[in-house]
Chain A
Amino acid sequence: MKRLQLQRWSSSVLSAQARTGGRLQHRLYNGIRHQSTASPAAPTANDQLIEEEPLAPSIHPPNSRQSKYQLPSPPVEAARESAKLAALHARLYLPSRLPLETLARSLVDASADPNPKFNNESLATLGHDLLTHYTSEYLICTYPRLPLTVIFAAMYAYVGPKTLAAMAREWGVESAAAPGGEVDPGYLQFKRIPPGADLKPVTGTARPHEDQAHWRKSITSSVVYDNEFGDPVKGPKNPSEQSKQDAQNIKGVTAEQANATFVRAVMGAIYLHAGRPAAKRFFEQHFLSRHLNISDLFNFSQPARDLSRLCARENFEQPVARIISETGRKSRHPVFVVGIYSGQDKLGEGAGASLLEARSRAAVAALKGWYLYSPLNVRVPSSMEEEGAAPWKPVHVDLGEVIV
């Protein structure tokens, strides 16, 4: 089992000050779809995905070597001749209903071929929606009490761009040096950002007062304004701005973005060609099978206070720290084992070199015990889409995280 690399901590459940890594992950993700806007590809193009495949050669007809250099991306018929593409198809154990041509298309980034009929943008949009949908429903149904910041972090760890890029690398997808018609379709093709260019943080978000950088951003507002990972995202675009944005898009993308877009596009392609069960199987085999220790994502700044608030909210007795055992109190390296009790029940246990540390760790353990509650026999809502599914039983819905 692959262990997910922990790319960042959830910012503390309670203190905004402890946001360590969030700043690093300002990503440019333009493909997000708001409910009010259309998908990046024209909506009609999205519907005609399958019908358009056989038509494509008529648009890219020339076959001579010189004319291949004129094309922005490899012609459709080259997909059948590429050994790399067939090998990738076999390596990923993709369904045979997914043709090589579509796999070749999912390897063409929008920065390589701006024509939406030949790039993977529409597939990636679909794949991204599927991935985030499946991941979020899995997380929320499995751990119904998780704080939102932890959910953001876990989503980022499961289907974030860094993870997807790492997956594409594990799949053995290599990138072409530059896109073009003569390139083997088995290479990932995208226009690279010129070296040394600085990645500017995302601007033009829908968030009001976004220029006030020092203002506190509440978690609740990031549900509304930010993307699935709690990162800022571009707001809905006007059609007039579309062309400007396209021109900016041509400038290039990072390898990480291109790889992530490719993995999303593969997911979308499987959904389109092989159907929902195959897409879900692919998701379970490639994404959910990765191990993520969610308990590592927590970061409490004042655990004792939070626990006290929690017990008050849930009408438990006030938590009391008790020394379960200790050794070497007067020595250089004492060890205390402290348990947090609420009435007769032990909520958590922690060991530390001082009573304060042990108490704090015990409180952290108790809080994690609360947040990491997982019901038995978890089912996700999308399991109802299958034929002959058992009647739906409502999942556990929690009050929410502790707010001090």
Chain B
Amino acid sequence: MANCLTAPRRPLLALPFLLPSPYECVALGLRRNQSSYRRTKQRLRVKPDASFGSSLSHPQEDHIIYNPPSSAPSVYHTPAKFLPSDDIRRNLRAASVNGNNAESLPPAVRATTEKKYHLNPSDIREIRRLRATDPMTWSRLKLAKRFDCSPTFIALVCEASPQKKEIQKRVLEAVQSRWGSKRRMAREDRQLRKEAWGRDQ
């Protein structure tokens, strides 16, 4: 975890297991009876995490345990990579974070494809010609399959003719005209939800 250094948000007294035992008895024993104390204590007996600090190596030393609740990290906490080179926090974090190695990284959502850059200008001319001559046959997907590139690249290279665009628009309208009110609202809601992602709502 990269956020070991952030200050603890809970007051120290709320984390009783941090404190030496005699003080602990005074702080908690006065308020709680023995049974509830034991239950509370039991719940706090968690497995020491790596982020708890070096308590295992130096058990005698006083140290701060930072054990935040599971939540998304704050956006005000700039990732170490985004810090400018002259920022002092960069060195501090580099010193504190234990080196993660490549195996510990979680699996990727999608297999990343290596970019090939294999198309030359003649290929691009060919793509444009095909798209212009027969737009109904040579859709973006078909062109992408044929030239072994992504549909996004096809869209970057060429544009559909206005006629094709018009046809596509009519097809879409025809499809949408058959939607009922529920489906239409659901689609609109989905679109609104997607927009909300960008606002982080």
Contacts and interface: CB of A to CB of B under 8 A. Distances in A.
A and B touch in the complex (CB under 8 A): yes
Nearest to A299: B199
A320 B112 CA distance: 8
Given A298-B199, A373-B82, A375-B87, A321 B72 contact: no
Chain B contact residues: helix, strand, loop or mixed: loop
B195 to A, nearest CB: 7
Contacts of A369: 75, 77-79, 82
B108 interface: yes
A348 B102 CA distance: 18
A255 to B, nearest CB: 31
Interface in A293-335: 295-296, 298-303, 316, 318, 320-325
B192 to A, nearest CB: 12
B72 A349 contact: yes
Nearest to A368: B75
A372 B78 contact: yes
A345 B80 contact: yes
B14 to A, nearest CB: 23
Interface string B65-94: 000000011011111111110011100000
Chain A contact residues: helix, strand, loop or mixed: mixed
Interface in A333-392: 338-339, 341-352, 355, 357, 359-361, 364-366, 368-370, 372-376
B109 A355 contact: yes
Nearest to B106: A322
Contact of A339 (B106, B112, B200): B106
A342 B80 CA distance: 11
Contacts of B106: 322-325, 339
Interface of A: 9, 12, 18, 295-296, 298-303, 316, 318, 320-325, 338-339, 341-352, 355, 357, 359-361, 364-366, 368-370, 372-376, 396
Q: Return the 7 tightest CB-CB contacts between A and B, nearest first.
A: A368-B75, A300-B198, A321-B109, A345-B81, A322-B106, A360-B197, A373-B78
Given A295-B76, A303-B198, A342-B81, 18 more contacts: A298-B198, A299-B198, A318-B112, A320-B108, A323-B106, A339-B106, A341-B105, A344-B102, A345-B81, A346-B79, A347-B79, A351-B72, A357-B197, A365-B75, A368-B200, A373-B78, A373-B82, A375-B87
